[in-house]
Amino acid sequence: MRIWFSLRKLYSEFKRSCEVKELYNVIRRPLITEKSNRQKESQNQYLFEVDRRANKIEIKRAVEQLFKVKVDRVNASRVHGKVKRLGRNAGKRPDWKKAVVLLRKGDRIDFFEGA
């Protein structure tokens, strides 16, 4: 019985130490395009490229903890990589995942303000 509780305690400490690393692995980079700038200004929505295996709950938790804001909604979609050719050789760009994050009124991410 005591072994179980000690293992449980070690696991929770390990999980907390890995949590920060996981946050940075979930969000890869912000997407800064004309469309994302329009969405940011008019609808308070921010676009991110995220890990393909991440779900909406993980994305929401990562944005809230990294940027210290409150998230209302997350929309996630998979984007298929394009097939590109160079001469007769064909290759494919990797698939990736896009997340549209809607913040509560009054919250904003200053990271995007300089772009």
Torsion angles phi and psi, residue 102, rounded to 5: -100, 120
**Number of independent structural domains in the chain:** 1
Contact, 89 vs 58, CB < 8 A? Answer: no
Q: Note the pLDDT tens digit of each residue in 7-22.
A: 566 566 555 545 556 7
User: How much is the pLDDT for 1?
Assistant: 46
Domain that includes residue 52, residue range: 2-112
Instruction: Tell me if residue 29 falls in helix, strand or coil.
Output: strand
| pLDDT tens digit sequence for 60-71 | 999 999 999 999
The pTM assigned to this predicted structure is 0.77
Token pair, residue 17, equals: 């130490």
The mean pLDDT of 21-48, rounded to a whole number, is: 91
The CATH number of the domain where 74 resides is what? Answer: 3.30.70.330
pLDDT band at 110 (very low <50, low <70, confident <90, very high): confident
